[in-house]
Structure 1
Amino acid sequence: MIIPTICLERANFSVHPFGADDFLRYEDLAKEIYQILSDEQTLHFIPEKRLVNIEDAKNWLNGAILNFHNGRNAVHFITSNSTGKLVGIIDLIPPAVAREHYRLEDYPYFLEFYLIGDAKGQSIMTNLLPAIVKSLRSNGIKKIAAVVNRKNHAAGKVLERSGFILQNNFDPFQDLYALSA
């Protein structure tokens, strides 16, 4: 299965999948991934995503590359246009993979997103998510959902501003948001 990729250029930030240029900056990219997935603010609602060292970040990145080529998920990077640095990660998970982990009536594509703590309050996802949804829809993806920690009100608001609707409790700690077709 080929998962569509998202390529967006906005005034301050860009979204792109791992590409050839990223191989040239593999070490720096691994460090930037580590900075995001070891950042206390980033991990406040997702502590299970914590990376402990740079080696973990390299393994995470290698896994993301392999998973993309195997159709398991598509990791995208949010980079600052002014610095070229990674400020966030978006993961697109196809229905077949969601089916392996969740018990639902219907299996959409799932979006996950994480931003480095310093990016908090900059409306990065508020500005990017509508364009991401538009890109996915133009690639034929109509059903999109996200699971959010119930206490992460900011993420819930970002989703709602982009047209996602709270569906129900996903589990004891998380809510399921879905985008209507």
Structure 2
Amino acid sequence: MLDPFYLECGDLLVHPFRPEDFEVYDEWVSAVFDLFSDNEMLLFIPEKRIANKAEAETWLKLTLLNFHSGQNYVYFITDRENSKLLGVIDILTPAKVRQFYQLQQYPHFVEFYLRKQSTGQSIMTTLLPMLIGQLRKQGINTLAAVANRNNIAAKKVLRKSGFKIREAFDHNQDLYEINAA
């Protein structure tokens, strides 16, 4: 299991769901719904759509359970001043990846999602190398990600962070990988 970590960068905080977040749980449900129902954010990943607040609450509950059972680790990107949710980073364990994909090797995977209003600000270009550093400290040296070939921003973020295309993932996406050892 990964040890929880926190990242701070300028006005941004990256953190797991914290005890104090339970005090504003309904606001978190709304924020998750807003993020995963944003058509522009979902342009290349429509399968991630959350249709209503009940689904958002289920997603949030599963996120908490999965984090504490070591299946995948969701970190929230928030604004330090107002705690507004700007995005999500999901770190999937090899066991979790194996549930969804058939690959020759099963490294940890990273997925990231940003609100449309937060794109173009180099948020992930800044945070992803920090995340890789944290994972490296915990012995995770190989990390993979999947990006739609038409998602130029995601491909740029991955390349700037040191990821290289390993192979075609499917007819729309490529599998990227970084070995941070």
**Shorter-chain TM-score tier:** over 0.9
State the partner residue of 1:23: 22
The SS at the match of 2:40 is helix
Q: Say whether the 8 Å CA contact 1:30–1:54 is kept in structure 2.
A: yes
Show structure 1 runs of 4+ deviating over 3 A.
Answer: none
State the partner residue of 1:101: 100
| Post-superposition CA distance 1:13-53 (Å, at most 9, x none) | 11001121111111101111111000111100111111111
State the partner residue of 1:54: 53
Whole-Å separation in 2 of the counterparts to 1:63 and 1:179: 28
Normalised to the residue count of structure 1, the TM-score between the two structures is: 0.96
Q: Say whether the 8 Å CA contact 2:167–2:174 is kept in structure 1.
A: yes
State the partner residue of 1:35: 34
The SS at the match of 1:140 is coil
How many pairs are equivalent?
Answer: 180
The SS at the match of 2:82 is coil
Equivalences for residues 4-23 of structure 1 within 5 A:
4-23=3-22
For structure 2, list consecutive stretches of 5 or more residues without a partner in the other structure: none
| Post-superposition CA distance 1:63-92 (Å, at most 9, x none) | 111111222111110001122101000100
Equivalences for residues 119-138 of structure 1 within 5 A:
119-138=118-137
The SS at the match of 1:118 is helix
Equivalences for residues 38-117 of structure 1 within 5 A:
38-117=37-116
Give the superposition deviation at 1:3: 2.8
Percent identity for Structure 1 against Structure 2: 46
The SS at the match of 1:42 is coil
For structure 1, list consecutive stretches of 5 or more residues without a partner in the other structure: none
